Structure 1
Amino acid sequence: MNLRRSDLLAPGAAAVTVVLWASAFVSIRSAGAAYSPGALALGRLVCGALVLGVMLLLRGEGLPPRSAWRGIAISGVLWFGFYMVALNWGEQQVDAGTAALVVNVGPILIALLGARLLGDRMPPRLLAGMAVSFAGAVAVGLSMSGEGGSSVLGVVLCLLAAVGYAAGVVAQKPALGSASALQVTTFGCLVGAVCCLPFAGQLVGEAADAPVAATLNMVYLGVFPTALAFTTWAYALARTTAGRMGATTYAVPALVVLMSWLALGEVPGLVTLGGGVLCLAGVAVSRSRPRSGKVPRAAAPEEVPEPQREGAPGSA
């Protein structure tokens, strides 16, 4: 019964993450009009760290074990810190479609790095699903791209953001073998905030002049897409492979299209709609399992009981 409950909770946590990360694109666009990339990243991380710190105290969880700190520090620097600044900056240089297209190489990099550094398997269903989803992301990105809205600097920044995201996820995975999802997320967020402290002066100056709506969007980014979504991500990541979790994020472009349609009245074209459907179909394929009755234990790491996953192969 407990195993069945765990099987349901992990996909649910991944779904929460994907929905909240999709909503972040709208908030980043709004807050980015009043806050510079570094200031927005710092404000978001500070809000997230405060919420996570309170949760950590209420649950009575202390410092993570020593063995987890390497992964927490690397993911904090590369994902919470570098990725957020690079993405915020990149989205100011390119249109939304181009940004979404370039950043979506991240799941592919996660699968490759996971296979190389963590010993993760790359089953045919995962590869096929990622190929279908990436084709959908390309369709969405091209259909949303505007003329003259991109720059070489912006594309490079988005590509660097994707690399930081992928490396951060792969570094985080081993840490989850000995520390809880809340511990890994809280201290990763804190490390990212410390890395962004050089932007503190900008944040204070811009907060004084920013519209209330922009500041509220920054707080929302810290509380929900950061504190909550990164925790649910870590919970799900601890129970599956990095490649499979990365493939799940291909649902984000489809949800962004849907949210823009419902919230902003932006009716998507047929190409955009078709691309969104492909993204979701690819995620479904990559998350599915063979229907044969016997699945080799090595091919289903998400079914391994928690204590046995501490000795995960490789280190990041």
Structure 2
Amino acid sequence: MRLFLLTAVVMVAFAANSVLNRMAVGEGGIGAVEFALVRVLAGAGVLLALVAWRGRGWRGASLAGVAGLSVYLFGFSLAYGQLDAGTGALILFGVVQVTMFGGALLAGEAVPGRRWAGAGLALAGLAVLVAPAGASWMGFAAMAAAGLGWGVYSLAGRGARDALAATAGNFALALIPAAGVALLAGVEFGAATGRGVALAVLSGAVTSGLGYALWYGVLPALGAGRAAVAQLTVPLIAAAGGAVLMGEAVGWRFAVAAALVLGGVAWASLPRAVSRGGG
């Protein structure tokens, strides 16, 4: 029961990042680049404090991890200027899975037929979502870039001996490209509201920093299979949060896309014995 509750808290934290970003950027409380900058600052601060509290360093960061995290953070924020919370989470989730699938192929891993079929369903769901009257193409492109970045970040971290230390290092080093983006974009906090900044800090320090730390704590007990299935709930939680907190509509297009994307990923994630039994 304890493991279930902790896992549920983590999934809510992941979904909350979508809702918080949408509330801050989508409603004009802070710019997308400014939100991402505050988020990475707050996340790095909390994660570095955690590894310092443990009395360990934050070695284990990688160039791919830092690059992937940076692309994710800024693409994520830019996308939520145009996308609803649930739609953005669904695009992110679908692209992450396709990226991880591609990473397995490039690594020469054997890919069962069910994973090909699952990836195809997920792609079909994304196509439904961005069909005419669906999601903004600009928003889709930004969130797809974020999904690619998070997928690369996840692939880079598979061999990390200390996941928390590696994550803290990646966040800390991501401050360098973040500062570069800030200079190029000419960030302007003068137009940001106190609420917008507070939401960015909350996203970075709590739902990203502490959320990721808790996730690393429950992963060993969950195992890879259950962890993959648990994440299927994130887009739906984000959609519910957007509907309750911001009155965002959840229409038939999202429902069809969600069924295809989540169904495809669930199919691809099934243990081999179960998938055989189901044909």
**1:45 Cα deviation after fit:** 0.7
**1:142 Cα deviation after fit:** 5.0
After superposition, what is the alpha-carbon deviation per residue over 1:226-275, rounded to whole angstroms, capped at 9, x for unaligned?
2133335556399867x997786554332222222333344523443344
Q: Does 1:108 align with 2:98?
A: yes
In 2, Cα distance between the equivalents of 1:233 and 1:263?
A: 25
Alignment of 1:199-278 (within 5 A): 205-206=188-189, 208-232=190-214, 236=219, 249-278=231-260
The one-letter amino acid paired with 1:39 is E
In 1, Cα distance between the equivalents of 2:164 and 2:130?
A: 33
Give the alignment partner of residue 66 of structure 2, picking from 58, 71, 76.
76
Note closer, same or farther for the CA distance 1:172–1:87 as it changes in structure 2 (3 Å cut).
Answer: same
**1:63 Cα deviation after fit:** 3.8
Question: Contact conserved, 2:101 with 2:119, CA < 8 A, in 1?
Answer: no
What residue number does 2:145 align with? 160
Question: Contact conserved, 2:242 with 2:248, CA < 8 A, in 1?
Answer: yes
Alignment of 1:116-195 (within 5 A): 116-117=106-107, 119-140=108-129, 145=134, 149-151=136-138, 154-174=139-159, 176=160, 178=161, 180-195=162-177
Note closer, same or farther for the CA distance 1:210–1:37 as it changes in structure 2 (3 Å cut).
Answer: closer
Between structure 1 and structure 2, the one with the greater Rg is 1
In 2, Cα distance between the equivalents of 1:226 and 1:150?
A: 26
The one-letter amino acid paired with 2:73 is M
**1:105 Cα deviation after fit:** 2.4
Question: Contact conserved, 2:76 with 2:146, CA < 8 A, in 1?
Answer: yes
In 2, Cα distance between the equivalents of 1:110 and 1:244?
A: 16
Note closer, same or farther for the CA distance 1:264–1:163 as it changes in structure 2 (3 Å cut).
Answer: closer
**1:62 Cα deviation after fit:** 2.1
Normalized against structure 2, the TM-score is what?
0.75
After superposition, what is the alpha-carbon deviation per residue over 1:48-72, rounded to whole angstroms, capped at 9, x for unaligned?
11111121122222243xxx34xx3
Q: Does 1:55 align with 2:44?
A: no
Note closer, same or farther for the CA distance 1:161–1:247 as it changes in structure 2 (3 Å cut).
Answer: farther
Q: Does 1:46 align with 2:41?
A: yes
Alignment of 1:28-39 (within 5 A): 28-32=21-25, 33-39=28-34
Alignment of 1:87-106 (within 5 A): 87-92=76-81, 94-96=82-84, 103=92, 104-106=94-96
Gaps of 5+ in 1: 293-316
**1:43 Cα deviation after fit:** 0.7
What residue number does 1:310 align with? none
In 2, Cα distance between the equivalents of 1:139 and 1:13?
A: 33
What residue number does 2:18 align with? 25
In 1, Cα distance between the equivalents of 2:7 and 2:35?
A: 25
Note closer, same or farther for the CA distance 1:239–1:173 as it changes in structure 2 (3 Å cut).
Answer: farther
In 1, Cα distance between the equivalents of 2:11 and 2:120?
A: 19
**1:188 Cα deviation after fit:** 0.8
Question: Contact conserved, 1:106 with 1:162, CA < 8 A, in 2?
Answer: yes
Gaps of 5+ in 2: 275-279
Question: Contact conserved, 1:41 with 1:88, CA < 8 A, in 2?
Answer: yes
SS at match of 1:173: coil
Note closer, same or farther for the CA distance 1:13–1:173 as it changes in structure 2 (3 Å cut).
Answer: farther
Q: For this pair of structures, how many residues does the alignment match?
A: 268
What residue number does 1:197 align with? 179
SS at match of 1:193: helix
In 2, Cα distance between the equivalents of 1:30 and 1:184?
A: 30
Identity %: 22
The one-letter amino acid paired with 1:114 is A
